[in-house]
Amino acid sequence: MRRSIRLDKEYIVHSYLTEDELAIKEFLAFNEVDDDDLEPFVDELLQKFVEEYDPEMDKIKKIVLLWCIRILTLGDEIEVNFKCKKCGNVQDTTISLANLLRFPEIDSDEVPTKFVDSSEPIEISDEFYDEMDIDDFEFYAKNLYSYYIVYNTKIHFNCYYCNEDHFTNLMSFKKVLQFMSEDSYETLTEWLHVLVYFGHLTRNDVLKMTPVQRMLEIKYFQETKKKELGDQNGN
């Protein structure tokens, strides 16, 4: 799958495969690194999934592109596992990534497109205003968000038990890489083994599946096994 994303210019991004999920989870499992140390690894990924990728771009733009690729491949929901800081209950919650990024709605060819963190007050450079007459000024003031790529560093969610407010910052290399697979490295390798050993597939067949195809394959495998066991028990 491919999709065109309009940031400061048009980017064509591609979805990734099971082999990429595995490589990402393997890298995270075996490398204890700071967010900035992940940049060379991220550049390699973006080189592969973004046409005409420029490694000199800002970090925030790289993170936005990674999230776009993740959403294209696995959809715009993530499961977050957390322990409530107030009542201590451990739980899962689903977060929609629609709250994470908002792209300009109006064709903004004439306007410099900037990345704005909506958790912070928006600052606009003086040069931006200096070039406008008063009519333009009013128009842009009204439609401010239409001209910016807005990202949100604080995604809020509530405790299921006590309703305590929590938030998470998803705008880091580490966070987006973690969410590029719903499975851990151990689970991925285990399922790879099971599908090859019992599923009559080659390792390469599985690695070249999209993550969604692989998850379906696992589901069918589990259903078939269950049915077989049922048949053996005479049901």
**Position 162 contacts Zn ion (CB under 5 A):** yes
Q: Which is nearer to Zn ion, 95 or 159 (CB)?
A: 159
Q: Which is nearer to Zn ion, 82 or 221 (CB)?
A: 82
**Position 93 contacts Zn ion (CB under 5 A):** no
> Smallest distance, Å, CB 87 to Zn ion?
3
Query: What x-and-dash track marks residues 42-81 binding Zn ion by CB under 5 A?
Result: ----------------------------------------
Give Cα 16 distance to the centre of its chain.
12
> Smallest distance, Å, CB 91 to Zn ion?
8
Q: Which is nearer to Zn ion, 51 or 165 (CB)?
A: 165
* Those residues with Cβ within 8 angstroms of residue 57's Cβ, 6 or more apart along the chain or in another chain: none
What single DSSP character describes residue 146? G
Please state, in angstroms and rounded to a whole number, the distance separating the CA atoms of residues 107 and 165.
36
* Those residues with Cβ within 8 angstroms of residue 58's Cβ, 6 or more apart along the chain or in another chain: 115
Please state, in angstroms and rounded to a whole number, the distance separating the CA atoms of residues 31 and 220.
34
Please state, in angstroms and rounded to a whole number, the distance separating the CA atoms of residues 181 and 183.
5
What single DSSP character describes residue 101? E
**Position 220 contacts Zn ion (CB under 5 A):** no
Q: Which is nearer to Zn ion, 159 or 180 (CB)?
A: 159
> Smallest distance, Å, CB 79 to Zn ion?
18
Please state, in angstroms and rounded to a whole number, the distance separating the CA atoms of residues 137 and 197.
65
Q: Alpha-carbon Rg of the chain, whole angstroms? A: 22
**Position 86 contacts Zn ion (CB under 5 A):** yes
User: What phi-psi label fits residue 9: left (phi over 0), alpha (psi between -120 and 50 degrees) or beta?
Assistant: beta
- Tokens for 139, please give them: 């128009």
**Position 161 contacts Zn ion (CB under 5 A):** yes
Q: Which is nearer to Zn ion, 87 or 229 (CB)?
A: 87
> Smallest distance, Å, CB 119 to Zn ion?
23
> Smallest distance, Å, CB 82 to Zn ion?
10
Q: Give, for 148, the enclosing helix (H) or strand (E).
A: strand 148-151
- Please work out the total of residues on this chain that contact Zn ion, with binding judged by CB under 5 A: 7
Q: Which is nearer to Zn ion, 86 or 203 (CB)?
A: 86
Among 38, 68, 95, 159, binds Zn ion (CB under 5 A): 159
Please state, in angstroms and rounded to a whole number, the distance separating the CA atoms of residues 114 and 157.
27
Task: Name residue 7's amino acid.
Answer: L
**Position 87 contacts Zn ion (CB under 5 A):** yes
> Smallest distance, Å, CB 88 to Zn ion?
7
Interacting residue ranges for Zn ion, rule: CB under 5 A: 84, 86-87, 159, 161-162, 164
